[in-house]
Structure 1
Amino acid sequence: MKGIILAGGTGTRLHPATLVVNKQLLPVYDKPMIYYPLSALMLAGIREILIISSPEYLPHYRILFGDGSALGLQIAYAQQPRPEGLPQAFTIGRDWIAGEPVALVLGDNIFFGNGLGPMLRRAVGRVQAGEGATIFSYRVDDPERYGVIAFDSDARAVSIEEKPERPRSNHAITGLYVFDADVCDHAAALIPSDRGELEITDLARRYMEAGALHVEPMGRGFAWLDTGTHDSLLEAAEFVRTIQHRQGIQIACLEEIAYLQGFITRDMAEARGKALVKTAYGRAILTAIEDAPAPLPFGERRAGDRRRG
């Protein structure tokens, strides 16, 4: 399973803050925005990751992550000359995907909740087993702003609409998707909408109509935050700050996740923690080393193991 982070776009809703910097490099409280979607892919057990962004910003991401080896990852980069819809990620990344299942996460989405890791790994497992695609829904008060999914009495998806004037439900489609190896062919067959873009809802609808779409609701105890406006960016920062201060944890601490997932060794995690020891982020890495047993090789689990998600 591979993963793509779509971190392109012009960030016009965040001007002038994004006139000289990519939106996904802006801080959400104490770390770059892109750390949050990257952490979701890592919690899903995905280690091969493609970051897609505008040509002028890719050097910044290379400085931030390099080849990903410091996190036990393999990170590649691709250009998005101009944004033409979310499914464009699968045409840009087709050669890199190379016929494998792939997860897509939007670079401005934040996911948090107890059990998030197991939920993501279940979705990956279903797709790897040949069960089509999985999308994640979240109940909102203003569904007309999102792609909306409606269900029948048996909780099966029966309708997917993009920003409908009269939504059939309050369940929005979040910016996290897991697709089988056929996704590149499906994306290539899409026709641009009236907005002139390829729509991710059209892609999901193709799977739904084929009976190959699974919807994973994010219910009580989960948070989904979209940081596309100044207000939502501030709200996300306040949310992260509150959780971290109240619970004494770090959200999206990449080195902590990498260590607990068995992606990197104790020595690698410790070196990074010591380099950042003046920050709560760095201390969280060192605390993870102290509190957790040495992780098993990735993919193995101890009996009763419930690693933090």
Structure 2
Amino acid sequence: MKGIILAGGLGTRLYPLTKSISKQILPVYDKPMIYYPLSVLMLAGIKEILIISTPRDLPMYEDLLQDGSQLGIKLSYEIQNKPKGLAQAFILGEEFIGNDSVSLILGDNIFYGFDFINKIEKASHLRDGALIFGYEVDSPREFGVVEFDENYRVVSIEEKPKNPKSNYIVPGLYFYDNNVIEIAKNINPSERGELEITSINNEYLAKGKLSVELLSKDTIWLDTGNYNALRKASNLVYKMQTEKNINIGCIEEVAYNKGYINGDKLIKLAESYKKTSYYNQLLKLISNK
């Protein structure tokens, strides 16, 4: 399976912070935001990853992450000239995806949880159909909302409904077979003029090919698209790392624990962070092992 991180758009909900810089470059405590979705794909065992962003912002990601070889993975880059909906990622990424299945994660979504890691590792082996997640929230109107029957079988998925039929929303992480490319090419734009990811999910649902896994309350999920959510995310990562000694979104740690790089390479990566607590965190990984 291959992975795509969608890090495009203008980030207008975070203006003026994002007037001159990509939202996914903004800091979430001690790391750029994009580290968090990248770490999720790496935790799932996905090593070939495409980053999609704007013509202005893509060079920043290339400078930050290079070709990924320092992490034992392979990174590619693709320009999105104009945001036309999440489903556009599969059209832009068609050549990259090739004949493989694919996972899409949004560049402003943060996930963490031990049970969650098991779920995404399993999902990365998907070869037929689609797998999405359901997450219970208090205010579901701004998201895709999943409706279930009494046996928790999916009945419908609605994009930003005025009257949500449940409190379960679809967070920004999706797993699809290779058919997603053709489905994305053939869906109609919504009233907003966008190719909605919900339209893709409903196509799989209509064919009886959609699975929804519910994420437990122990799973952390944050959409960092506005001021309060960005601050909340930074506070949470700070608390987890300083009080519980649990790193979130540390791509070097994931690469090391997954065996993508060895201790010598980890030390070399850590050298560029000297004089920071991040440096000490990486060295501690080796001493603990």
TM range (shorter): over 0.9
Q: Could you list the per-position Cα deviations for residues 12-40 of structure 1 after superposition, in whole angstroms to 9, with x for gaps in the alignment?
A: 11111111101100001111000000000
Q: Is the 8 A contact 1:5 1:49 kept in 2?
A: yes
Where structure 1 has 5 or more consecutive residues not aligned to the other structure, the ranges are 293-309
Of residues 110-119 and 49-58 in structure 1, the stretch that sits farther from structure 2 once superposed is 110-119
> What is the deviation of 1:279?
2.2
Q: For 1:247 and 1:35, how far apart are their aligned partners in 2?
A: 20
Q: For 1:18 and 1:275, how far apart are their aligned partners in 2?
A: 26
The alignment's TM-score, normalised by the length of structure 1, stands at 0.91
Q: Is the 8 A contact 1:274 1:286 kept in 2?
A: no
Where structure 2 has 5 or more consecutive residues not aligned to the other structure, the ranges are none
SS of 1:49's partner is strand
Runs of at least 4 residues of structure 1 off by over 6 A?
none
- Residue number among 232, 236, 242 corresponding to 1:235 in the alignment: 232
Q: Is the 8 A contact 1:99 1:182 kept in 2?
A: no
> What is the deviation of 1:116?
2.4
Q: Could you list the per-position Cα deviations for residues 260-300 of structure 1 after superposition, in whole angstroms to 9, with x for gaps in the alignment?
A: 101112210122223324323222222222223xxxxxxxx
Q: For 1:3 and 1:200, how far apart are their aligned partners in 2?
A: 16
Q: Could you list the per-position Cα deviations for residues 31-90 of structure 1 after superposition, in whole angstroms to 9, with x for gaps in the alignment?
A: 100000000000000000000000111111111011000011100000000000000000
Q: For 2:55 and 2:182, how far apart are their aligned partners in 1?
A: 25
Alignment partner, residue 192 of structure 2: 195
Give the alignment's Cα RMSD to 1 decimal.
1.0
Q: Which amino acid aligns with 1:190?
A: I
Q: Could you list the per-position Cα deviations for residues 164-183 of structure 1 after superposition, in whole angstroms to 9, with x for gaps in the alignment?
A: 11111000100000100111
Quick one: structure 1 residues 280 and 249, their matched pair in 2 at CA, closer, same or farther if it must change by over 3 Å?
farther
Q: How many residues align?
A: 289
Q: Which amino acid aligns with 1:215?
A: V
Alignment partner, residue 92 of structure 1: 92
Q: Which amino acid aligns with 2:196?
A: E
Q: Could you list the per-position Cα deviations for residues 91-129 of structure 1 after superposition, in whole angstroms to 9, with x for gaps in the alignment?
A: 00101111210000000000011232211011112x13x
Residue 155 in structure 1 maps to residue 159 in structure 2: no
Residue 104 in structure 1 maps to residue 104 in structure 2: yes
Q: Which amino acid aligns with 2:150?
A: S
Alignment partner, residue 271 of structure 1: 268
Alignment partner, residue 24 of structure 1: 24
The alignment's TM-score, normalised by the length of structure 2, stands at 0.98
